[in-house]
Amino acid sequence: MTQNLFSLVGRVALVTGGNSGIGLAMARGLREAGAKVAIGGRRAARNAQALADLGGDGTDTAAFELDVTDETSVGATVQGVVARFGRLDILINNAGGVNRKSVMDLELGEWEQVLATNLTGPFLCTKHAARQMKAQGSGKIINISSTYGLTAPSKGLQVAYTASKHGVVGLTRVTAVELMPLGIQVNAIAPGYFFTEMTGELRGTSLEQSIIRRTPSGRLGETEQLVGTCLYLASSASDHVSGTVIPVDGGYLASDGLDRG
């Protein structure tokens, strides 16, 4: 029994923003654990590249052009996954964006775009996935928040991103309470600094060195280091876990952040 707790054989997963970075790493991990995996992303060419990366003969993977800010697109994607694989067991709400402007300079439209992607998107995907999971009597929803969903950048600036990721934590908790009686667990992962396309510009900068000094592990993370936590929350190992937020940050949040020199 114990050795099968983390097996995802027979499960079907949808990973939003699954065509690059953290999402693609999680999609790989889910597939290697036995799940059939659908990735959702706006760019068809990137989706095709991601499918090639996942490998296989195409019978256990699929890609959908998904805009998480568009409810019609979300509904069609969930229906498409079910039509292709017969069910939906795991939803990874990973799609996201960032804007690093000051609160004094951020335009309303820029604020709304980040909130639409990072918070409204997970709401819409949860809404449609949960309906299918309710009919099945089980499901796992994993929201990707951030350490900035639990704290704030030292000099502010990422106002829309930080507010949206705090919102993801609230969304996780309230939906966990509602959906747990239906057999659906909702949890969140709060990654620290990881090297992705979004953060690649940090390499070799003074900010990278500041992050390293703050982080007990002494380094930024690699996306593959998020896979284990994802598999735990996606599998039967976490059947009695809901409403939690698990930081994967090299100890970043455990430190008081002071550079004592």
**CB burial of residue 140 (10 Å; 0-12, 13-18, 19+):** buried
Is-catalytic flag, 161?
Answer: yes
Query: What single string gives the DSSP state of each residue in 138-154?
Result: -EEEEEE--GGGTS--T
**Measured between alpha carbons, how far is 95 from 108 in angstroms, rounded to an integer?**
21
SS3 of residue 175 by DSSP:
helix
Partners of 48 in the β-ladder: none
- Partnered with residue 62 across adjacent β-strands are 38
The residue among 242, 234, 226, 144 whose CA lies nearest residue 189 is 144
Query: What number of other Cβ atoms are within 10 A of residue 224's Cβ?
Result: 13
Q: Please identify which of the residues 148, 161, 232, 252 carries the catalytic annotation.
A: 161
Give me 46's structure tokens. 């990137």
Read off φ and ψ for residue 169, nearest 5 degrees: -65, -45
Return all residues near 162 (Cβ < 8 A) that are at least 6 apart: 148, 149, 152, 153
Calpha distance 149→166 (Å, rounded) = 4
Q: Which residues are catalytic?
A: 161
